[in-house]
Each structure stands twice: as C-alpha cells, then as structure tokens.
Chains A and B, each alone.
Chain A
Amino acid sequence: RDKFTIHSKAVVCQDVELKGDITIGSGTIVHPKATIFAIAGPIVIGTGCIIEEGAIIVNRRKEVMRIGDDNLFEIGCRVESPTIGSSNTISTKARVHHTVRISSHCVIGAGCLVVPTEDEMLDEFTMIYGPAAERRVWSGRGKVQEADLRRKHGEYLREMLPKFNRLRRGDGM
C-alpha cells in the first residue's frame, strides 16, 4: 500500500513519517520529523514546497489531496485541506480543517484555527491572522519579493539539508 514517488531533485530526509500513496514533486523539501499520512487517499505535492519539522499533512478522504507549488508549511502546522493552491503559507501551529479549500497566495497566520463547519473555499490572497482568526484580503503588493524569498529559502535548504541529514530515496521514479 505504501507507494512513494519522490522526484530525484526533491530533498526528503530520512526521519520523515510517510504512509500511503504519496507523490512529491521536484525541488520540494521535507524536513526531518515531518509527517505525511495518506491514510484513505493519495497525496500529490507539487514543486518547490517546503514542509518543516512537525508539520502534519493528513488525507482522510478517498479523493486525491493535491498540493500546489511553492507552498510553505511551517513548524507544527496541521493540514487536512483537500486542495491547496500555490504560493501559500501555513504558519506555525495553524490548523486547517478538511472542509476548507485553499487557493493561491493565502497566508494562514500562526496558531490560527481554520475550522469552518461548512465547506468553504478561501479566495486568493486571503490573510487569516490573530487569535480569533480574522480575515482580510491582501492587495498582493510585494508578492514578487515574497516569491523571490521563498525561492531563496528553498535553494538554501536544498544545499544545506543534505549535508547534515540522511536522505530518503523514492521507490520508483
């Protein structure tokens, strides 16, 4: 049942808990102690994503969970959303329920609980911040700089992580 398809250019550390059918795209970095559980259905992760320590990505539904490109999952976050677009940031210890679908360029702030009772799709550029998880829409100014920063972050990690951690290679490429 475990089937990991890890691109040769992805950096996945040895100490990651993977379960189920997982596809990881080129350039994605998975830090040690991350957890990706494709329990009921497969998970497909795009290119350039950064999944930090303690992040938990779980798919409890039968449908494929698709995660886009250039996303950042910070430490301790827990994500069950069935669809995630590109260039999002899920900050430290945030929790995203399986009823929410995230589009692109969103930022879920640190410690925010995004747990609506009904199915919901977050618009592009939505910012969720504060202890009460207030929302507002970002104007998008500065997104080029943020994309540049994300890219530099990824490049640095791709260079440094293999020096200090053992890497896990996929079963089939």
Chain B
Amino acid sequence: MAPSIHYHCPCLSSSPVPPPPHLASSSCSFHALHTLFFCEECDAVRCNRCVSVEVSGYYCPNCLFEVPSASVRAEKNRCARNCFLCPNCRNTLSVVPSDPPEDDGRSSIPLSAIGEPPFFLYCNHCRWDSAEVGITFEKPTGLAAQLQRFEDSASDSLEFERLKEHFEPFLRTSSLSSSSHLPTHPSHHTRTSSITAAASAALARDIPGVGRYNTANPLGRSRGKDKSVNKDEMPEYRSRVEIGASGMAGDAEFMKHIEDVGEVAGLEQRWINSWKSSLQTSDLKPLRIPLHSKVSKRCPTCTHILIKPEQKAQSVRYKIKLVAANYLPAITVALPHMQTQDATKRTVAKSTPDEDKGASATMYAGKTYAFHLALTNPLYDPIQVRLSVQRMHVAVSSDGTIPEKARRPPFAVSLPTSSFTVAAFAEAWEYEDDEDMFGVEDDELGLESPRKSGKDKDGRGKTKTVGVLEKKANLTVVGGEVVIGKEARGNVKFNMLVSYTYRSDDPAPPEDDDVPRSPMKGPEVKTFAFYTVVDLGAISPKEVLQVVDLDF
C-alpha cells in the first residue's frame, strides 16, 4: 500500500490529541483532507461525522428536475416524470418508438422523427426493453401517469393502504385525548399528518413505573376520563394476503424447473424493492428513479454554514464552500526509494498487473528509510510550519505483559525540528520568470535516499535527508527518516502534529477563539495546529530481502 497521510478531526472531543494509530479504532477519527471542512468562527476542523446536515433540495439525477419537498413525500421519493431504472443493469431507461413495419422498399426512406407507437422503455447498456414484461405506452410523455395504474395495484402499496386504514382511527383518538392534556400546544394537532400524530401518541403513552408528566392539568381530572379506555389496545391486524407456505412453495417449484442461471433474478436486482418480489428475471419491472438530495452542512457548535450548494440541480458549484483544503496545508508523503520502481511499473500494460514489483515496495525490518513530506500552502500568505512527532506510550496491562493488540512495531522517526517556511500561493501567471517558480537551489538537487547515497554524492560529503529538501512555488518538500527495529512487524504509522503560523491581514476584531499559542502583535499572527497520521506502509520481514533486492 502506498504511503498515505490522513488528518485528524477531534469531533468535539475534549482532548485534541488523537488516539494512537496502532489501535484499530483510531482510524475512524482520521480523514483525507478532501473530506474535511473548516469553520472560521470556531477555528476548527470539522468532518462529515460531526457536521449537522440538512437537506436543501431534492432532484432527479436523470432529468435534473428539482422536486419541491411537498411532492417528495407524495411521490414516495421517486421521480414522477419519465425516468426509470432498468431492472437488469440499473441504468437509465429511455423511451423509444417501435420499429416501423417491415417493408422492402422502405429501406432507403428515412424514418420519421417522432417514430411510431407503441413506445416502450429501452436500456442502452444491456438492451433490455419493457416489452419483455409487457409494458408499452401509447404516448412518449407522461409515462408516470400511465404506469400509475400498475403501481397502485401492486401488492405492497395495497398492503400499505390497508395498514394506514387500520391505524387511522387509533391515531385520531390518541391525538384528540392528548390534546386535552396539552392545551398549550395546539399547533401539533392542527396538522393532519398521521406521522406526527403517531409520534405524539407514542410520547404521551403510559409507561408503567414512570410518573406521568402532566404539564397542563395538575389536578388529573381529565386523566380519569381516559383511564376507562386504554389507548394502546387495538384489534389484531390481519394482512391482506395470508403469508405462509404458499409463497415458498411457488418459489421452490420455480427453482426445480430452471434451465439457466440467468432466469433467476440476482440479489442486486431485487433488494432495492421494499417488498419481496418474484425470483424470476422475467418478472423484473422497471423502477422509478429514486431522487437524490442536495445537503447543506453546518458547524455543530456555532451553526455557521460550511457547505451550501446552489439551488439549481445541474450546477455542481457551491454558494458557500468552507473546505479544509483552503485553510490547511495539503501534505503528501512519499518514499523515494520506491518511486523509481513505480515509474517503471507504469510502462507495463495495464491489463497485466506486475505481482513481483509489489513485493519490493515495502520496507524491511532493521533498515533505515527516508521519506519525503510535500506541503502545499493554500493561503495567500507565507506560513511557518513546525512538525513534531507525537510520543506514544504503549499501555501495559496489569500483569505486566503488553497485550497483542496494543503492541506497535518499534520504529523511530526523526523529522526536522525547526520551523520552515512555505511560500504563499499565487497564480501561475504572477511569476515573472521560471526561476521564481522553480526556485530549487543547487545543493538540493540530486538528493537520494540513504540506501543509494553511496553512488550519488554531490560532492558535499553527506547528503541531507532530514530537513528542507526543496522549495518550489508554494510547495516545500521536507525529508525525514525512519529507523525500523529488527523485529518489527505491521505498519509504520505515527501521529504528527503540524502547527503553522501565518500573518493574516484581516482588519476583523481579534478572534478570541484563536488557539492561544502566540501573542498577537500588530498585523495578527495566527497559529493553527492539527494532528495527522502518517502511514508509511507495511514492514516485511528480513528474509524476503535477498529475493527481490534491486540495489546490490
């Protein structure tokens, strides 16, 4: 696995320090940078797990029609227009006319634009068409209305209607009785929605052992009235269809007579239905396309909007987009001794993956490796970055032995301890010469990992592996070293604290929620720190070394 780096989101926990990465449960609090958001008010990183999400609109992914939220419930979260899913391959179906009648002399006459009825649904990908299940239309538009008849007579919607009729009288009596308890909340009961009535009835229900919370009438006069009728009692519900052996027998009969495995509908084709449907492929019907929703996300503490998409369904941009990539430096990690192997790997044809090259792209126990961290600054001001490795202590259990899961492979990481600058981000056209953009100094060229340092010395004696290696536009590459112990196994993963200071020209009032690490002076110098986990890859035992080593 290629070396990777993930960012830590504290997710409102009290301590900003992340859990040690060798624990399996720690992976849930580390995220890739492109999935994180940044709240400017709280000066904190937010991830998808801690933001509060609200729906900002619904749309059909096929026709891109924005469905108003009122019709969403009425149409059961599906598109009400001509959008259908192929039951075979789940691609979108298109409405096509049938072929014109066969006529020898007509082959040179072009076909009419509209085409001839009957129209049917056709999948471009697998060429399934709805005529196989007997669904054809007379007009090419308004298909949903034409299919409405079929859908209403389907067994699951009939069952649902029956259930609703069964529960309706009980909800009505519960809502009427609970309205006498809570006269201060009339708004709940002017709504005819059965779901809210059911919810308030459930909340108002008697729970044995818990004293009843009566806000309105402390005398309990109205309670006596209702005790005679137990609201929770209702006659047993009888389903419309007797569920029992008959369904199973039909399936078994079918299975005994199949000739080809393609006759049975696959699991992926059947489980999107909410109702158990027939097993046969020939019974699969086209489904309406489920709607997608556009969400807007808010910071959980200050409710500032972090993400707000545009209203139009076809636009993928955002009105408000506070993503972490615009505030935090993007870090990528690479192991230079494997990069040369990757370059040759790319020339091999894609259809034949190379198995043997994968074995050499790991690290061996007992050796020292250099790794490169490339930091890219997204801000318009230069930043001073300081890296530090988090010291971890391995928990020791009561009998003195370290439990297997808590053990981590022994390795030591050294990083540059001093702070280094990463230049500000500027557009490419702002650089006058090429030299400004590719400001690489001579003594940093030709830098190799220590394994190859015997061959490529640039005449200065010792090649630098720990420290700033390269500075180019708004990218800075620093090198670090990891020494792996002889008996190490597992992945090399360590937490790294990245803290950076930058001068912000905001004339805004001083932010009190700023992390108080540096005093504010003149033009504000702000500091932000975040944790990351760096995963350099797996460690291979030393015996493999002789087989695939390329350097000797």
Contact with A along B241-263 (1 / 0, CB 8 A): 00000000000000000000010
Within 8 A of A (CB), among B81-115: 88-89, 96-100, 102, 110-111, 115
Contact with A along B123-152 (1 / 0, CB 8 A): 001111101100000000000000000000
Residues of B within 8 A of A148 (CB): 110-111
Which chain B residue has the least Cβ–Cβ distance from A146? B99
Known: A141-B99, A141-B120, A142-B96. A129 touches B126 (CB 8 A): yes
B122 in complex: contacting residue of A130, A134, A142, CB < 8 Å: A142
Q: Say yes or no for A127: interface residue by CB 8 A criterion.
A: yes
A104 to chain B, nearest CB (A): 15
Residues of B within 8 A of A127 (CB): 126-127
Residues of A within 8 A of B100 (CB): 144
Contact with B along A49-64 (1 / 0, CB 8 A): 0000000000000000
Q: Which of B111, B115, B120 has the most CB of A within 10 A?
A: B111
Find out whether the CB atom of B127 lies under 8 angstroms from the CB atom of A136: yes
CA distance A134 to B268 in the complex (A): 14
Find out whether the CB atom of B131 lies under 8 angstroms from the CB atom of A136: no
Residues of A within 8 A of B131 (CB): 139, 141
Find out whether the CB atom of A130 lies under 8 angstroms from the CB atom of B89: yes
Which chain A residue has the least Cβ–Cβ distance from B129? A141
Contact with A along B292-321 (1 / 0, CB 8 A): 000000000000000000000000000000
CA distance A130 to B91 in the complex (A): 11
Q: Say yes or no for A117: interface residue by CB 8 A criterion.
A: no
A96 to chain B, nearest CB (A): 14
Contact with B along A72-104 (1 / 0, CB 8 A): 000000000000000000000000000000000
B421 to chain A, nearest CB (A): 47
Residues of A within 8 A of B99 (CB): 141-145
Interface majority SS (helix, strand, loop, mixed), chain A: mixed
Q: Say yes or no for A109: interface residue by CB 8 A criterion.
A: yes
Residues of B within 8 A of A34 (CB): none
B262 to chain A, nearest CB (A): 7
A75 to chain B, nearest CB (A): 17
B92 to chain A, nearest CB (A): 14
A130 to chain B, nearest CB (A): 7
Which chain A residue has the least Cβ–Cβ distance from B127? A138
B129 in complex: contacting residue of A107, A142, A152, CB < 8 Å: A142
B128 in complex: contacting residue of A136, A143, A144, CB < 8 Å: A136
Residues of A within 8 A of B127 (CB): 107, 127, 129, 136, 138-139
CA distance A143 to B98 in the complex (A): 9
Measured as residues with beta carbon below 8 angstroms from the partner, the interface class of chain B is 20 to 34
Find out whether the CB atom of B129 lies under 8 angstroms from the CB atom of A139: yes
B510 to chain A, nearest CB (A): 56
Which chain B residue has the least Cβ–Cβ distance from A110? B125
CA distance A148 to B128 in the complex (A): 20
Residues of A within 8 A of B262 (CB): 136
Within 8 A of B (CB), among A117-173: 127, 129-130, 134, 136, 138-139, 141-145, 148, 152
Residues of B within 8 A of A139 (CB): 127, 129, 131-132
A120 to chain B, nearest CB (A): 16
CA distance A127 to B122 in the complex (A): 14
Residues of A within 8 A of B89 (CB): 129-130
A11 to chain B, nearest CB (A): 20
CA distance A1 to B236 in the complex (A): 88
Find out whether the CB atom of B129 lies under 8 angstroms from the CB atom of A130: no
A114 to chain B, nearest CB (A): 14
CA distance A4 to B543 in the complex (A): 59
CA distance A88 to B122 in the complex (A): 18
Residues of A within 8 A of B126 (CB): 127, 129-130, 134, 136
CA distance A142 to B122 in the complex (A): 9
Find out whether the CB atom of B111 lies under 8 angstroms from the CB atom of A145: yes
Residues of B within 8 A of A143 (CB): 99
CA distance A127 to B96 in the complex (A): 18
Find out whether the CB atom of A109 lies under 8 angstroms from the CB atom of B125: yes
Q: Which of B110, B127, B131 has the most CB of A within 10 A?
A: B127
CA distance A129 to B120 in the complex (A): 21
A139 to chain B, nearest CB (A): 6
CA distance A170 to B89 in the complex (A): 45
Which chain B residue has the least Cβ–Cβ distance from A143? B99
Residues of A within 8 A of B102 (CB): 144
A54 to chain B, nearest CB (A): 15
Residues of B within 8 A of A134 (CB): 126
| Chain A to chain B contacts (Cβ below 8 Å), 18 pairs | A127-B127, A129-B125, A130-B126, A134-B126, A136-B88, A136-B126, A136-B128, A138-B127, A139-B127, A141-B98, A141-B122, A142-B96, A142-B98, A142-B122, A144-B99, A145-B99, A148-B110, A152-B110
Binding site for B on A (CB under 8 A): 107, 109, 127, 129-130, 134, 136, 138-139, 141-145, 148, 152
Complex A-B, nearest 7 residue pairs according to Cβ-Cβ distance, in ascending order = A144-B99, A138-B127, A129-B126, A127-B127, A148-B111, A129-B125, A141-B129
Given contacts A130-B125, A136-B128, A145-B115, 20 further A-B contacts (CB under 8 A): A109-B125, A127-B126, A129-B89, A129-B125, A129-B126, A130-B89, A134-B126, A136-B88, A136-B126, A136-B262, A138-B127, A139-B131, A141-B120, A141-B122, A142-B96, A142-B99, A144-B99, A144-B100, A145-B111, A152-B110
